[in-house]
């Protein structure tokens, strides 16, 4: 039997495009004499559809799309992910389903058993878990068909009380097929590969695994679909970060005795490709063509400009330099040099005059109090007004340039440098920003060296440095990582050797800044615990604040 994996980029709620894409690849499978074409989880509607699933019309359109797709399955079978109605009055109204179709019609459905409800996942909000198990028989083969999480509860500390493959093994399947929507983070490809290897080792069956590719707002899908032999060899690997379609002969997979030379990407390369994919898909799927960003001469805005230029073309990325009386000449020169190297247009709009106007306006109301953060934030908000003015006038989308370290401790101005339509590097700690800059410059100087080597500064007061307000990023980021990603508390951090007073101060900054993060743009997710939908914290809590 020849099995094709169709690793595709779907658009949430774009039923016409998604349906046509699926049909096109079914016909491609027919041309290449495949017996079965397998598509990812919730392919018909895109993943994650979230509260669209609460609309009967949305589900009806999924069903109409499935009927249209099935009509093209003549002489070939397909497995397509889609929500489906639960006919039982008890329980949730929907299943997360894998739809098996051939001979021009839907033959059967298999439902997802394990519904993740952690981090970015919220599936139990919408779906009823499967409680009945059976295999699919096709072309003399018995297929154990599962959906994403169904294969992940195989580790030493199981999250669920049931293992779908253990149940399906009683039917003596010949192979496993898993359709998935597995979002990217910098270590996910390695973890995913190990999970799949653990499954073939445990069940001694070949495994065909297909994943989404592309981005849906903050979530990025890296593809990396794979085929594994019963002996744990990688018989096939689809591309990362791009659509792919490959056909595999089942017998060859079963008899595979040597893994392909599969190299997992360098983490910096993977993050670079993920962020480019995230920007590109955000613009393409929303119909935007041009981006704008504040170009400060610092490393954060430099990285964002490089990524955006790669994603949508340098001619479509406008950098705006807005020097104040506190800006250094080298910052302006560095920013202009960067724009010239990349080929992006740039404008220089000084803000000193606007700042003095605001200072004059507010002076009688500031009651002769000394210069403080209030005056610093006015500068940041003036810059935001300029950027949003240009955005509104010319239809550019403002890219936010804050990093994760700043977002964590609230080192940013609400309605100032924290505004934008998309946060590009808000899931990269400052030290990771520097690592990415060195990756970008690995072959030639794209980001001017002075941008990378000079001490970071907001340049909102004379001779300002980030280190005036924050611990060194090398230390700060280690504490933040342990607290945010690894959920270590203050006692555990102290036991790890971090100074208690500093830890208490950092954690207080993180927790009292939650109200700021609540109002930030969507952040492209590249870590296992990003700010946004995957990290839900109360704003008015007392804990550690």
Q: What is the 3-state secondary structure (H, E, C) of 81-131?
A: EEEEECCCCCCCCEEEEEEEEECCEEEEEEECCCCCCCCCCCHHHCECCCC
Tell me which of 2, 21, 41, 432 is the catalytic residue.
Answer: 41
What's the token pair of residue 312? 């949508």
Contact 135, 143 (CB under 8 A): yes
Half-sphere exposure of 263 (CA within 13 A, CB side): 5
Cα distance between residue 259 and residue 273, in whole Å: 25
What's the token pair of residue 467? 């280190």
Between 430-440 and 267-286, two packed helices, what is the crossing angle to 10 degrees? Answer: 90
Tell me which of 112, 290, 404, 516 is the catalytic residue.
Answer: 112
112 is catalytic: yes
Backbone phi, then psi, for 111, in 5-degree steps?
-105, 150
Cα distance between residue 410 and residue 431, in whole Å: 17
454 is catalytic: no
DSSP 139-194: TTEEEEEEEGGGGT--SSS-SSS--HHHHHGGG--SEEEEE---B--TTHHHHHHH
Which of left, alpha, beta for 174 (phi over 0: left; psi -120 to 50: alpha)? alpha
Contact 220, 274 (CB under 8 A): yes
Backbone phi, then psi, for 76, in 5-degree steps?
-155, 155
Candidates 270, 196, 278, 183; CA nearest to 237 is 196
* Three-state DSSP class for residue 346: strand
- Give the residues across from 292 on adjacent strands: 318, 398
- 373 Cβ neighbours under 8 A, 6+ residues apart: none
Which is it for strands 226-228 and 234-237: parallel, antiparallel or unpaired? antiparallel
- 251 Cβ neighbours under 8 A, 6+ residues apart: none
Q: Which residues participate in catalysis according to the annotation?
A: 41, 112, 148
């Amino acid at each position: 039997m020849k099995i094709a994996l169709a690793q595709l980029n779907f658009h949430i709620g774009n039923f016409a495009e998604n349906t046509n894409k699926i049909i096109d690849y079914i016909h491609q499978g027919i041309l290449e004499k495949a017996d079965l074409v397998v598509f990812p989880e919730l392919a018909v509607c895109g993943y994650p559809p979230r509260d669209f699933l609460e609309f009967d019309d949305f589900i009806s359109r999924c069903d109409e799309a499935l009927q249209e797709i099935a009509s093209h399955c003549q002489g070939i079978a397909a497995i397509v992910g889609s929500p489906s109605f639960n006919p039982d009055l008890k329980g949730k109204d929907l299943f997360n389903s894998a739809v098996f179709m051939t001979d021009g019609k839907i033959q059967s459905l298999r439902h997802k058993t394990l519904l993740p409800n952690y981090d970015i996942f919220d599936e139990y909000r919408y779906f009823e878990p499967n409680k009945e198990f059976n295999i699919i028989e096709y072309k003399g083969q018995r297929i154990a068909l599962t959906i994403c999480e169904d294969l992940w509860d195989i580790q030493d500390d199981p999250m669920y009380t049931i293992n779908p493959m253990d149940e399906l093994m009683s039917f003596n399947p010949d192979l496993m097929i898993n359709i998935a929507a597995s979002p990217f983070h910098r270590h996910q490809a390695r973890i995913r590969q190990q999970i799949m290897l653990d499954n073939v080792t445990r069940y001694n069956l070949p495994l065909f695994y297909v994943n989404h590719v592309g981005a849906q707002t903050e979530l990025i899908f890296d593809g990396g679909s794979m085929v594994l032999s019963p002996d744990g060899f990688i018989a096939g690997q689809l591309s990362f970060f791009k659509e792919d379609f490959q056909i595999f002969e089942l017998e060859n997979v079963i008899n595979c005795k040597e893994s392909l030379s599969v190299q997992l990407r360098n983490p910096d390369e993977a993050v670079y490709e993920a962020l480019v994919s995230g920007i590109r898909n955000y613009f393409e799927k929303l119909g935007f063509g041009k981006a704008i960003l504040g170009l400060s001469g610092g490393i954060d805005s430099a990285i964002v400009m490089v990524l955006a230029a790669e994603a949508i073309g340098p001619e479509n990325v406008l950098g705006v330099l807005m020097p104040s009386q506190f800006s250094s000449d080298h910052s302006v020169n560095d920013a202009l040099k960067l724009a010239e190297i990349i080929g992006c247009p740039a404008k220089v709009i000084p803000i000193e005059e606007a700042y003095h106007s605001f200072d004059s306006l507010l002076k009688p109301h500031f009651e002769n109090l000394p210069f403080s953060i209030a005056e610093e934030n006015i500068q940041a908000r003036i810059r935001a007004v300029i950027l949003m003015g240009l955005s509104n006038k010319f239809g550019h989308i403002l890219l936010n340039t804050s990093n994760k370290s700043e977002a964590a401790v609230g080192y940013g101005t609400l309605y100032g440098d924290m505004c934008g339509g998309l946060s590009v590097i808000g899931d990269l700690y400052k030290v990771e920003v520097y690592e990415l800059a060195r990756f970008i410059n690995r072959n030639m100087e794209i980001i001017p060296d002075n941008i990378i080597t000079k001490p970071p500064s907001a340049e909102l007061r004379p001779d300002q440095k980030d280190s005036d307000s924050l611990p060194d990023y090398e230390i700060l980021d280690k504490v933040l990582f342990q607290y945010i990603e690894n959920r270590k508390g203050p006692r555990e951090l102290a036991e790890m050797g971090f100074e208690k007073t500093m830890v208490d101060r950092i954690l207080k900054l993180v927790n009292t800044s939650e109200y700021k993060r609540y109002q930030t743009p969507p952040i492209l997710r590249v870590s296992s615990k990003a700010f946004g939908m995957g990290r839900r914290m109360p704003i008015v809590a007392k804990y550690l604040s």
